[in-house]
Chain A
Amino acid sequence: MTGVALRIETCGKTFADATRALEPVTLTIAPGETVVLLGPSGCGKTTLLRIIAGLETPDRGGRIVFNDKDVTHVPIERRNVGMVFQSYALFPNMNVAENIGYGLKIRSVNASERKKRIAELIALTGIEGLEHRRVDQLSGGQRQRVALARAVAVQPSVLLLDEPLTALDAALREKLRGELDRLLRALGITTIYVTHDQSEAMALGDRIVVMRKGAIAQVGTPRDIYFAPENRFVAEFVGAANIIEAVCEGGALVLPGGALPLANGTLDGPAFAMIRPEAIKLVAAGGARLHGRVDSVSFVGDRQRASVGGAAGKPILVDVPNTMAVSVGDKIGLSVEPGAIRLLPGDPT
């Protein structure tokens, strides 16, 4: 099964009551790629997914193209998309096998071929033995697998997943995330995955599209998004981040508690600097260029998170190795690699 290239051209969406759910968005997705639409609720990610599916039509001027074929006006039932809903939307009047085989039945695939295909999908998603169960007798994880098997049974051009793991508890979510990742890679279907969970986005996405207020805030690989956010919104939404308002002067970030050297070629002037807590090292106060005082420490198992006051205009979060002795009131030094300091535009967006 080879993936389909997907092009979204200036697709915006204004609802009948004049609410603007989506600003015109343009995005190209490579065959077989998994793209995650990530953002808080109401950011337009589900609307964009529904436009790709054919459940909503974009405003005038918007186009959805599958492999050079314009499908903007092709209804969902003829678009050949696989869709997994947050609620799974399993048909309650059909058992597991009938649910998985429904798309094949609609396509008039004969009974023996259908049976073979259902058996393959049941094996692929690891739900052997549940074929004749009613869907209300399934656990959340089993439902999720049935929904996925049903969606890929028809060999869709594009697989669309709308928060498929959100309804599950944390441990199961993590387990299924791994399974889902393997499955998507094995199938090679072009996939759009909607979530508000950044760790899910990081784990599954070849690329992540961070959305905010109906517009794209940044598109990039998980590493791009994490290490090189283009604005404060992305920096704060993905992972923990210290956003420090400061002044760049003579190649250093000047702060109340001292200064941090910046990468070469940084222009002077006021700036917002982003530093991830794990990029900051606690060092001995003597000889350090930036000083502060430990305000609080919490031990979280794999590391300790300290809040350091006095160094910048507001407390700085620092990840400290879990074996390091550090206590409240310690006067300490802070050191950061110049490359780990990311300067962001002053605009909060």
Chain B
Amino acid sequence: MTKRAFVQLCLLPLAVVVTAFFVIPMARLVLIGASGSQGIGAYAAILLEPRYRETLLNTIILAAATTVATLLVATISGLFLQRHRFPSRALLVAMLTLPLAFPGVVVGFLIILLAGRQGLIGEITSALFGTKEVFAYSIEGLFLGYLYFSIPRVILTIMAAAEKLDMSLEEAARALGAGPWAVHRDIILPALMPALIASGAIAFATAMGAFGTAFTLATDIDVLPMLIYTEFTLSANVATAAALSIGLGLVTWAILALARSYGGNAAAASG
């Protein structure tokens, strides 16, 4: 057997799996999307129909805000946790990463406990100001929920990347007169950039497609996965659901590709 034939043989199982579980269903999904009364116009409707367009925008904004906030929180705490040793550090890391194990529905439940109608924040605000603050079911509640499950994923990546930072680079910068801010701006963040982009991309994609939390919380707001669910199960509008699924996939993929190409440059520059 030639080497080439051997490699092809080894790749065969992968090819079968990819065809069976990826190519065929995706092709079918694309076809179904165009099979409704609007035909191929179902795809245009994602952008033209105000309700769909608004939902798509909401979802992108929510996912982007979640990504930015997650990176901010996780970078600061990840760096801190990597560089300081204190008695309860291991416990804190364990607590921060606990939400990894929770399904979205549990995260949604926790947000309701915090900011729902019987929630802690509601009780405190009603005792203090006489008005009950409830935001669990709005975009703020969703944002908090998404933040909660995104932070652990990102924090672990940042901690791993921070561990590999070359301390002598920071020492060299300090010797040249750079204070803590300048060291972070000029040395640490550029060195962490590849990790920030990779983990940010995962956070963004997860937030775009999150369903469990949205299903529990999104009563006042629509996000794309919820819209797909209602179109599919409640309205039996299979063609629109399929078109929306393809749309969600494409938008997420496009934004990630953009981040990666920018991140590729940044990563190359920080070599």
Contact = CB atoms under 8 A, between A and B. Distances in A.
Contacts of A78: 177
Interface in B12-46: none
Of listed B174, B178, B182, B186, residue having the most chain A CB within 10 A: B174
Nearest to B176: A103
A88 to B, nearest CB: 8
A66 interface: no
20 contacts: A53-B175, A76-B171, A76-B174, A76-B175, A77-B175, A77-B176, A77-B178, A77-B179, A80-B177, A85-B171, A89-B169, A91-B173, A91-B186, A92-B191, A93-B190, A102-B173, A134-B269, A134-B271, A150-B176, A154-B176
Contacts of B187: 91, 93
Interface string A184-207: 000000000000000000000000
A106 B178 contact: yes
Interface in A54-73: 55
Contacts of A55: 171, 174
Interface residues of B, number: 20
A83 B171 contact: yes
B178 to A, nearest CB: 5
A136 B271 contact: yes
A102 B269 contact: no
Interface residues on A, range: 20 to 34
A39 B232 CA distance: 76
Nearest to A87: B168
Across the A-B interface, give the 5 residue pairs with the lowest CB-CB distance, nearest first.
Answer: A103-B176, A89-B172, A93-B190, A83-B175, A89-B168
Nearest to A76: B174
Contact of A77 (B166, B177, B191, B269): B177
A153 B171 CA distance: 16
B219 interface: no
Given A77-B177, A77-B179, A83-B175, 15 more contacts: A76-B171, A77-B174, A78-B177, A82-B175, A85-B171, A87-B166, A87-B168, A89-B166, A89-B168, A89-B169, A92-B190, A102-B176, A106-B177, A150-B172, A160-B175
Contact of A154 (B171, B174, B177): B177
A92 B271 contact: yes
Interface of B: 166, 168-169, 171-179, 182, 186-187, 190-191, 269-271
Contacts of A89: 166, 168-169, 171-172
A260 interface: no
Nearest to B178: A106
Contact of A92 (B173, B175, B176, B270): B270
Contacts of B190: 92-93
Contacts of B166: 87, 89
A150 B168 CA distance: 14
Contacts of B174: 55, 75-77
A91 B187 CA distance: 7
B171 A93 contact: no
A85 B182 CA distance: 20
A102 B169 CA distance: 12
Of listed B166, B179, B271, residue having the most chain A CB within 10 A: B271
Contacts of B173: 91, 102
A81 B270 CA distance: 25
Given A85-B168, A102-B186, A93 B176 contact: no
A106 B183 CA distance: 10
Nearest to A53: B175
Contacts of A82: 175
B271 A135 contact: yes
